[in-house]
C-alpha cells in the first residue's frame, strides 16, 4: 500500500465483459502526473442485454467479481468508482453560452458563468445530463480559443457539447454498482473515456476518428481542433461477427467466440489455406475439421461490412475529409490480427490500433490491450475529478446524493 494515497476504480460494464482497473491517486498529484495502475479485473458480463441492464442481480455479481479481482491484485479497497455509460443510450447536441464581461479581463468566474449559461438547455424526456463539455471559446468575435483566462474582453462565448443519457439506464447502472458494494461517483460516456486513454493531443487537433468496436455496438467519436465534431453508435459489433461464425460453421456461440479469439484473422489472404481446425460440430452430429481460411473469410466479410458502415457514417456527417490523423481503432472487436490492414483498405486513411498507454505507469503492460481502453480512460477521468488530497476518509458507505454528472470540462 502506498501511504497517503487514495485509490479509485474505472468500471466498464460491457455487453460481453466487465472490466475494472484500480489506480492510486497520490496527494498533491498534478494533472500531468501519470496514474499508477495497481490492479486489473475482468469477468463475463451477466445480466446485460446490449446496453441495458436486464438482470440487476446478475450484473451486480459480474461487477463484484471484476472489481474484487482488481482490488485483490492492488492489495487495497477502492474508495470511488467511475462507470461507463453505453453510448447507445447517449445523445449529444451543441449549445452556446454568451456572457458580457463586466471587467476588462476574463476571470475564472466569467468562465464558470458562461458555462452555466451554455448548459441551461432543455433535456430530452427520459434523459439526464451527464456531461457539459466546454469545447472552445470566442472572445469579442475571435474564435478557436481554448483558454480565455486573462484575455481582454467585453463579450465571452462558450461552445458547449451537451451529452445526455437514458435516465433508466443510468439508474440501473447506479443500482448495480451500489449493490456490488462500491460508491458510484460519476457515469461517463464510454467512448469519451476511451479517447482519454488512446488519443493524443496532436490527433485531437489534426482530426481523428475513434472507432471502438465492442461486443454489441460500434462507437464513433470524431475530434477536430480539440472539439468533438461527431458522435454515433452503430448496432453491430464483435458479437455480430461471432454469431456469423456460429451460423456459418454450425457451432455454439461460445465455441465460435473461442475459435475467433484463437485463430481468427481479419484478412483471408493472411492465413494458410491448407490449415484445418478441429471443432466440436455440435450442430452436425460430431467432431470435424474446418478450414482456417473459411473462418477468416467469415470474419473479413462481416468486419468489412461494419467498417463500411462506419465509412458511410463519417462521409454522411461531413467529417471524413477532416481526419488528418486518420482512424484509431479500439475495443475488443479490433484485437484480431490484420484488423488495421482491413481498415486501411476501407478508409484509405492512416489507421492504428489504440491501446491505453497515455498518462499511466505501474502495471501499464497489464492493460495494454484495446479492450481495456474504456476502463483505463475512466480512471484518467476520475483522477481529474478527485480531490487534490486523494480520497482520505472516504468510505463505501457514503453514496453521492443528487444527479450523476454536473460538471464542466
- Please give the full DSSP string across 153-204, using - where no structure is assigned: -SEEEEEEEEEEEEHHHHHHHHHHHHHTT--EEEEEEHHHHHHHHH--HHHH
Q: What is the pLDDT along the chain (409 residues), one digit of tens a residue?
A: 334 468 999 999 998 899 999 999 877 777 778 899 999 999 999 988 877 899 999 999 999 999 999 999 999 999 889 999 988 889 999 999 999 997 789 999 999 999 999 999 999 999 999 999 999 999 999 998 999 999 999 999 999 999 999 999 999 999 999 999 998 899 999 999 999 999 999 999 999 999 999 999 999 999 999 999 999 999 999 999 999 999 999 999 999 999 999 999 999 999 999 999 999 865 556 678 999 999 999 999 999 999 999 999 999 999 999 999 999 999 999 999 999 999 999 999 999 999 998 889 999 999 999 999 999 999 999 998 865 444 433 333 233 222 323 333 3
Q: In whole angstroms, give the CA distance from residue 381 to residue 392.
A: 19
Distance from the first to the final alpha carbon of the chain: 31
pLDDT tens digits for 291-336? Answer: 999 999 999 999 999 999 999 999 999 999 999 999 999 999 999 9
Tell me, what DSSP letter sits at residue 332? Answer: G
- Helix, strand, coil % (nearest 5) of the chain? 35, 30, 35
User: Please, where in the chain does CATH 3.30.1490.110 lie?
Assistant: 90-164
Residue count of the chain, please give it: 409
DSSP H or E run through 286: none
Handedness of CA 173, 174, 175, 179 (dihedral sign): positive
Handedness of CA 82, 84, 89, 92 (dihedral sign): positive
Cell 486489473 belongs to 40
Per CATH, is 201-355 categorized as 3.40.50.300? no
CATH number of the structural domain 90-164: 3.30.1490.110
CATH number of the structural domain 6-88+168-198+356-385: 3.30.420.40
User: Please, where in the chain does CATH 3.30.420.40 lie?
Assistant: 6-88+168-198+356-385, 201-355
Instruction: Give the Cβ contact number of residue 289 at 10 Å.
Output: 11
Helix axes 339-347, 292-317, angle to 10 degrees: 40
Tell me, what DSSP letter sits at residue 365? Answer: G
pLDDT tens digits for 189-206? Answer: 999 999 999 999 999 999
Q: What is the dihedral of CA 239, 243, 249, 252, to 10 degrees?
A: 90
Q: Which of 332, 344, 385, 122 is nearest to 219 (CA)?
A: 332
* pTM metric for this prediction: 0.90
Q: In whole angstroms, give the CA distance from residue 204 to residue 189.
A: 17
HEC sequence for 377-405: HHHHHHHHHCCCCCCCCCCCCCCCCCCCC
Amino acid at each position: 500500500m502506498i501511504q497517503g494515497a487514495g485509490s479509485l476504480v474505472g468500471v466498464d460494464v460491457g455487453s460481453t465483459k466487465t472490466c475494472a482497473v484500480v489506480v492510486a491517486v497520490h496527494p498533491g498529484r498534478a494533472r500531468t502526473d501519470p496514474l499508477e495502475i495497481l490492479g486489473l479485473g475482468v469477468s463475463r458480463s451477466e445480466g446485460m442485454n446490449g446496453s441495458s441492464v436486464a438482470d440487476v442481480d446478475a450484473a451486480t455479481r459480474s461487477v463484484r467479481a471484476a472489481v474484487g479481482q482488481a482490488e485483490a491484485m492492488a492489495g487495497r479497497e477502492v474508495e470511488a468508482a467511475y462507470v461507463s455509460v453505453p453510448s447507445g443510450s447517449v445523445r449529444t447536441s451543441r449549445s452556446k453560452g454568451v456572457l458580457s464581461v463586466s471587467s476588462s479581463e476574463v476571470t475564472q468566474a466569467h468562465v464558470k458563468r458562461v458555462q452555466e449559461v451554455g448548459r441551461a438547455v432543455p433535456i430530452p424526456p427520459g434523459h439526464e445530463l451527464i456531461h457539459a463539455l466546454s469545447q472552445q471559446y470566442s472572445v469579442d468575435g475571435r474564435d478557436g480559443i481554448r483558454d480565455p483566462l486573462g484575455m481582454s474582453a467585453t463579450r465571452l462565448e462558450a461552445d458547449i457539447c451537451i451529452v445526455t443519457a437514458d435516465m433508466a439506464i443510468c439508474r440501473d447502472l447506479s443500482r448495480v454498482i451500489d449493490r456490488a458494494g462500491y460508491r458510484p461517483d460519476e457515469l461517463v460516456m464510454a467512448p469519451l473515456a476511451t479517447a482519454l486513454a488512446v488519443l493524443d493531443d496532436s490527433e485531437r487537433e489534426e482530426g481523428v476518428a475513434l472507432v471502438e468496436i465492442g461486443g454489441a455496438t460500434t462507437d464513433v467519436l470524431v475530434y477536430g481542433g480539440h472539439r468533438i465534431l461527431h458522435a454515433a453508435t452503430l448496432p453491430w459489433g464483435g458479437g455480430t461477427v461471432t454469431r456469423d461464425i456460429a451460423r456459418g460453421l454450425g457451432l455454439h456461440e461460445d465455441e465460435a467466440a473461442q475459435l475467433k479469439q484463437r485463430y481468427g484473422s481479419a484478412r483471408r489472404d493472411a492465413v494458410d489455406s491448407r490449415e484445418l481446425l478441429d471443432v466440436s460440430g455440435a450442430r452436425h452430429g460430431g467432431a470435424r475439421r474446418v478450414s482456417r481460411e473459411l473462418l477468416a473469410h467469415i470474419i473479413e466479410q462481416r468486419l468489412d461490412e461494419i467498417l463500411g458502415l462506419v465509412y458511410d457514417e463519417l462521409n454522411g456527417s461531413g467529417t471524413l475529409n477532416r481526419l488528418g490523423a486518420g482512424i484509431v481503432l479500439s475495443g475488443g472487436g479490433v484485437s484480431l490480427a490484420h484488423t488495421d490492414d482491413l481498415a486501411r483498405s476501407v478508409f484509405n486513411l492512416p489507421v492504428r490500433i489504440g491501446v491505453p498507454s497515455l498518462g499511466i505507469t505501474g502495471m501499464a503492460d497489464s492493460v495494454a490491450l484495446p479492450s481495456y481502453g474504456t476502463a483505463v480512460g475512466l480512471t484518467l477521468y476520475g483522477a481529474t475529478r478527485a480531490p487534490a488530497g486523494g480520497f482520505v476518509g472516504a468510505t463505501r458507505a457514503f453514496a453521492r446524493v443528487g444527479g450523476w454528472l454536473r460538471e464542466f470540462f
